[in-house]
């Protein structure tokens, strides 16, 4: 899989960081989801997460939450490296593992139906510092460039996707750790942009309503966000939501046109009144 060697995606818009084991000042809700792993799709979930004699797992794929956020139209974020109770754990990542996550995300959204447009999502890697880190240590963490010392050809290697098996980037990170070279720790933020019907980048909007499409995930399922849970829609529920959206759109249009017509009639009556 080809990719760019630029590091623009890893530059922070402003210095931000998390403190290890600190508590996030919000809970999982309609716009926030916490995960402590990077298994985006179903085929990345290890077999040992499958509960015997059940279709349930001890670990949920990240895609389920991403799909729900996309279909709920609000701006939302999935945080990888934060536990369910809202504590910062972080994920140790090299530049190669960062690349893996980024390209895995692009690949995942290319498997949605319809595919997810690139302007609808972004990704950030926010450093995690020790809970007692000094100002100098924090400054060092937020200014660290993971591309330093990395040769472009090293990043040109294809990554192993669509499987729970270890990619070369993970093997490389383990080897570095075994040699005492511990990679920095990050919280990975995957941001979903709110639906903007006026955005000219939208190519999957529905008709002249410019309504958002409902995306099927890589498993052919459709989710929406309800409080802190991702709810799978049945076909009947999906049709009902679409029908309601259409009714609201045209009801508003009829109301607007009726008001305009009323104003035009009033103006016309004023114009034809005989002068005294």
Taking residue 163's Cβ as centre, other Cβ atoms within 10 Å add up to: 10
Within a domain: 19: yes
Within a domain: 1: no
Q: Are residues 116 and 252 in the same domain?
A: no
Q: Are residues 55 and 14 in the same domain?
A: yes
Within a domain: 113: yes
Q: Are residues 121 and 142 in the same domain?
A: yes
Within a domain: 3: no
Within a domain: 127: yes
Within a domain: 203: yes
Q: What is the pLDDT of residue 3?
A: 47
Q: Are residues 215 and 79 in the same domain?
A: yes
Q: Are residues 80 and 114 in the same domain?
A: yes
Q: Are residues 65 and 180 in the same domain?
A: yes
Q: Are residues 105 and 60 in the same domain?
A: yes
In the chain, how many domains are there?
2
Within a domain: 152: yes
**Residue 202 vs residues 58, 197, 218, 243: alpha-carbon distances, Å:** 36, 8, 21, 21
Q: Are residues 177 and 73 in the same domain?
A: yes
Which residues constitute the domain of residue 274? Answer: 235-276
Within a domain: 111: yes
Q: What is the mean pLDDT of each run of 10 residues along the chain (276 residues)?
A: 44 75 95 97 92 83 97 94 96 96 97 94 96 94 90 90 96 94 96 86 65 89 94 86 71 80 77 64
Instruction: Give the contacts of 246 (CB within 8 A, at least 6 positions apart).
Output: 209
Q: Are residues 157 and 227 in the same domain?
A: yes
Q: Are residues 129 and 39 in the same domain?
A: yes
pTM of the model: 0.83
Q: Are residues 200 and 240 in the same domain?
A: no
Peptide bond into 114 cis (omega under 30): yes
Q: What is the pLDDT of residue 68?
A: 97
Orientation of helix 95-110 relative to helix 62-72, angle to 10° = 60
Q: Are residues 163 and 271 in the same domain?
A: no
């Amino acid at each position: 899989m080809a990719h760019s060697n630029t590091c623009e995606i890893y530059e922070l818009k402003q210095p931000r960081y998390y403190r290890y084991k600190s508590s996030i000042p919000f809970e999982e809700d309609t716009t926030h989801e916490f995960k402590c792993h990077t298994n985006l799709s179903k085929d990345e979930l290890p077999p040992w997460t499958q509960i015997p004699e059940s279709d349930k797992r001890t670990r949920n794929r990240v895609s389920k939450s991403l799909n729900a956020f996309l279909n709920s139209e609000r701006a939302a974020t999935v945080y990888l490296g934060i536990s369910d109770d809202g504590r910062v754990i972080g994920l140790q990542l090299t530049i190669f593992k960062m690349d893996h996550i980024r390209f895995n995300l692009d690949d995942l959204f290319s498997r949605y139906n319809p595919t997810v447009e690139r302007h609808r999502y972004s990704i950030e890697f926010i450093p995690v510092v020790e809970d007692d880190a000094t100002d100098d240590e924090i400054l060092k963490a937020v200014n660290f460039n993971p591309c330093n010392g990395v040769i472009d050809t090293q990043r040109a290697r294809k990554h192993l996707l669509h499987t729970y098996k270890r990619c070369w980037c993970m093997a490389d990170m383990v080897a570095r750790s075994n040699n005492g070279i511990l990679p920095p720790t990050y919280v990975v933020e995957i941001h979903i942009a709110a639906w903007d019907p006026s955005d000219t980048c939208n190519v999957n909007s529905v008709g002249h309503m410019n309504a958002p499409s409902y995306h099927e995930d890589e498993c052919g399922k459709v989710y929406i966000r309800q409080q802190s849970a991702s709810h799978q829609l049945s076909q009947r529920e999906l049709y009902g939501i679409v029908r309601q959206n259409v009714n609201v759109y045209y009801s508003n249009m009829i109301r607007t046109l009726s008001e305009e017509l009323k104003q035009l009639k009033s103006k016309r009556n004023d114009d034809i009144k005989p002068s005294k």
